[in-house]
């Protein structure tokens, strides 16, 4: 999959990007899940500012395909949620749970993306904000930018940034992940109490490979605007599926499953931190890097995951269509277990019960032990894998 990524113009590890920012200021706690900065807004040493910037990535191309094929313009609302949640849930991982400020950036090619699509994206933004506000997670939209960039953008990009001012005493820092703790994994698929329909669990990572490996050559021929013409033809829409094909084991078709809006765990984590103050030692959002994500945030630890939640059907489909080995699958996609909560063993059941109160499955998926170097060790039905 790494090789396919590179040939499709995507770097999975982004070594050049990491090198470019290596000497920049990395905040008060360089190993925090999000960058935490002094309180520039208020000047109070007891407070801090935290910010995230991310987006829906190439998932917007799937929305374009599905809308053009089916006429269902509502899929664009989910893309708005993707852009928000990719920021929101990263901020959750430092303990931020309320009073977020949000701004969005939409860049489009007007020849393919009319005003009705922009209206749906904006409506989807407000719809998600309303859902979170109803759940007690306050988000304030501070405006944004929409630009017509036809010479740069093939279809549309949807990005966002979020920031929050919070007390330093409320921070959840990965430096507090220690040997002896257990890991409670929360499912990416199913239907949470605050979700309208079943969620495939796909999130917004690995969609370049998922789109090309799963969908058929039909889309290359019909929608040449959805891919880089310089990519080797054998890597363009090389799968066997149409977006309207049923996805076995779910109430969704393939297109709907690939477009499932990224699940937020904000209501769950807000309740956890309110009811278990100081007892959640670490939070890891398994997005980019998936089950190896935690490697960026630990020192001298071995993370053992030997009881992962079941693999959701969408990931089995991606694996079978692409032929990707499972070691690589777990490195790129969450495969059904997305949020990791690090707690003492005595607190694990409370985390599981809280997640289940929102309709989300959870279970102890592993534990933390001391190690000379950072490692993640997976023991799965598809084999045992070590990442360093």
The ranges assigned to domains in the chain are 2-387
Confidence of residue 19 (pLDDT cuts 50, 70, 90): confident
CA distance 103 to 126: 12
CA distance 202 to 184: 19
Alpha carbons within 13 angstroms on the beta-carbon side of residue 312 total 28
Q: What pTM did the predictor assign?
A: 0.93
- For residue 347, what is the DSSP state? G
Confidence of residue 21 (pLDDT cuts 50, 70, 90): confident
pLDDT of residue 13: 57
Letter string b/e over residues 203-221, b meaning 16 or more CB atoms within 10 A of that residue's CB: bbbbbbbbbbbbbbeebbe
Question: Each residue of 87-137: pLDDT tens digit?
Answer: 999 999 999 999 999 999 999 999 999 999 999 999 999 999 999 999 999
pLDDT of residue 345: 98
CATH number of the domain at 2-387, please?
Answer: 3.90.650.10
Task: For residue 52, count other CB atoms closer than 10 A to its CB.
Answer: 23
CA distance 31 to 183: 19
User: Which residue is it, tokens 């790494």?
Assistant: 2
pLDDT of residue 288: 87
Question: Each residue of 282-331: pLDDT tens digit?
Answer: 999 999 899 999 999 999 999 999 999 999 999 999 999 999 999 999 99
310 φ/ψ sector (left φ>0, alpha ψ -120 to 50, else beta): beta
How distant, in Å, are the alpha carbons of 25, 219, 334 from that of 151?
Answer: 34, 22, 34
CA distance 33 to 37: 12
Comparing C-alpha atoms, which of 55, 72, 204, 62 is closest to residue 125? 55
> Do 151 and 223 meet the contact criterion of CB atoms below 8 Å apart?
no
pLDDT of residue 340: 98
pLDDT of residue 230: 86
Phi and psi at 243, nearest 5°, equal: -65, -20
Indicate whether 11 pLDDT > 60.
no
> Do 65 and 255 meet the contact criterion of CB atoms below 8 Å apart?
yes
For range 214-228, the mean pLDDT: 95
User: For all residues of the chain together, what is the average pLDDT?
Assistant: 94
pLDDT of residue 6: 61
User: DSSP states of 289-321 as a string?
Assistant: TGGGGGGGG-SSEEEEE-SPPPPPHHHHHHHHH
Confidence of residue 2 (pLDDT cuts 50, 70, 90): low
Question: Each residue of 237-295: pLDDT tens digit?
Answer: 999 999 999 999 999 999 999 999 999 999 999 999 999 999 999 999 999 899 999 99
In this structure, what token pair is assigned to residue 366? 């592993």
pLDDT of residue 131: 97
């Amino acid at each position: 999959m790494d090789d396919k990524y590179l040939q499709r113009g995507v770097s999975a590890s982004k070594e050049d990007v990491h090198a470019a920012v290596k000497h920049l200021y990395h905040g008060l706690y360089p190993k925090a899940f999000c960058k935490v900065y002094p309180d520039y807004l208020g000047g109070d040493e007891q407070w801090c500012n935290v910010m995230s910037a991310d987006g829906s990535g190439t998932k917007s191309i799937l929305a374009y395909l599905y809308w053009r094929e089916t006429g269902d313009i509502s899929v664009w609302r989910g893309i708005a949620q993707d852009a928000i949640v990719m920021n929101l849930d990263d901020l959750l991982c430092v303990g931020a749970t309320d009073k977020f400020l949000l701004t969005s950036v939409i860049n489009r090619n007007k020849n393919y993306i009319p005003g009705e699509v922009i209206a749906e994206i904006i409506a989807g933004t407000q719809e998600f904000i309303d859902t979170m506000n109803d759940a007690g997670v306050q988000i304030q939209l501070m405006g944004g930018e929409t630009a017509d960039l036809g010479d740069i953008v093939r279809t549309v990009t949807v990005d966002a940034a979020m920031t929050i001012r919070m007390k330093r005493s409320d921070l959840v820092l990965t430096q507090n992940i220690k040997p002896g703790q257990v890991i409670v994994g929360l499912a990416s698929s199913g239907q949470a109490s605050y979700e309208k329909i079943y969620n495939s669990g796909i999130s917004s990572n690995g969609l370049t490979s998922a789109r090309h490996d799963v969908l058929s050559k039909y889309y290359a021929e019909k929608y040449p605007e959805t891919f880089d013409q310089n990519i080797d033809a054998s890597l363009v829409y090389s799968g066997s599926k149409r977006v309207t094909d049923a996805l076995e084991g779910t109430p969704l078709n393939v297109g709907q499953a690939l477009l499932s809006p990224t699940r937020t765990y904000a209501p769950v984590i807000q309740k956890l931190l309110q009811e278990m103050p100081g007892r959640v030692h670490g939070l890891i959002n398994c997005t980019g890097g998936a089950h190896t994500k935690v490697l960026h945030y630990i020192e001298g630890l071995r993370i053992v995951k030997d009881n992962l939640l079941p693999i959701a059907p969408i990931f089995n489909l991606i694996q079978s269509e692409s032929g990707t080995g499972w070691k690589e699958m777990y490195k790129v996609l969450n495969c059904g277990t997305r949020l990791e909560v690090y707690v003492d063993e005595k607190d694990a059941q409370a985390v599981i019960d809280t997640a289940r109160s929102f309709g989300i499955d959870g279970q102890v998926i592993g534990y933390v032990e001391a190690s000379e170097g950072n490692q993640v060790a997976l023991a799965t039905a598809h084999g045992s894998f070590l990442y360093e």
